Amino acid sequence: MGASGFIGRHLAARLVAEGVCVTAAGRAPDHLRRYPPGAVAIRCDLAADRAEDWYERLAGVDAVVNCAGLFGDDRGYSNVHSDGPIALFDACRAAGVSRVIQISALGAATAAASAYHRSKAAADDHLAGTA
């Protein structure tokens, strides 16, 4: 997730360069097909997808890295940073994907002052099994 963002595109390119089979997921797969060369692009939408939407996409996947991040529009924070990733993490658990990496944010905490940081913390806590 978030394969077209700053962290995601660099991470995906590095993994492809090291010979890893990468599936880049995002809202605009046509955009994702431009980089990294060699990655497969699939469409997903963290703001709308449920765990069930992920099951087929996760077939044969060994690891998931969530790099999704929304900046400057707090109306979508809970969807993109917490609800969507939580659905993805639950689907990973159900599909047997045991390696899940969540790219979070410094300052992410349930009592943080910003909605951005609270939304990131919700997904972090769920993945860690503390929510």
pTM of the model: 0.92
Say if CB 83 and CB 71 are below 8 A apart.
no
**Neighbour tally for 50: CB within 10 Å:** 13
pLDDT of amino acid 38:
85
In which element (H, E) is residue 115 found?
helix 115-128
Average pLDDT over residues 85-112: 96
What are the residue boundaries of the structural domains of the chain, listed by start? 6-128
Q: What pLDDT band is residue 27 in, cutting at 50, 70 and 90?
A: confident
58: which 2 tokens? 């996760």
CATH of domain 6-128: 3.40.50.720
